[in-house]
């Protein structure tokens, strides 16, 4: 089942399956090394629609909630 990163719980991991959005958005995300097949861990998210902190390849990245809602992962729950 694919869900957006925003629906992961803090500390939960998932395999990145799909990135929605336009070509420039996908290029920007790809430049951050966020690509299908990578394992992504949600570190935390800020309240009130704030940014989401994720970890990819041991690096922590902060992305906006709107961006995070376009990045889908598969989780085995």
pLDDT in tens, 23-44: 999 999 999 999 999 999 999 8
* Domain 2-74 in CATH 2.30.30.90: yes
**What is the three-class DSSP state of 25?**
helix
Helix/strand/coil (H/E/C) assignment for every residue in 28-68: HHHHCCCCCCCEEEEEEECCCCCCEEEEECCEEEEECHHHH
Q: Give kind and range of the element (H or E) at residue 2.
A: strand 2-4
pTM: predicted TM-score of the whole model, two decimal places: 0.89
**Residue 77: per-residue pLDDT:** 64
**Residue 42: per-residue pLDDT:** 95
- Nearest Cα to Cα of residue 45 among 6, 71, 2, 73: 6
């Amino acid at each position: 089942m694919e869900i957006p990163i925003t629906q992961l719980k803090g500390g939960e991991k998932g395999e990145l399956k799909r990135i929605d959005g336009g070509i420039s958005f996908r290029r920007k995300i790809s430049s951050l090394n966020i690509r299908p097949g990578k394992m992504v861990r949600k570190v935390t998210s800020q309240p009130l629609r704030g940014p989401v902190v994720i970890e990819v390849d041991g690096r922590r990245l902060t992305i906006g909630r709107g961006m995070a809602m376009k990045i889908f992962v598969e989780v085995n729950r």
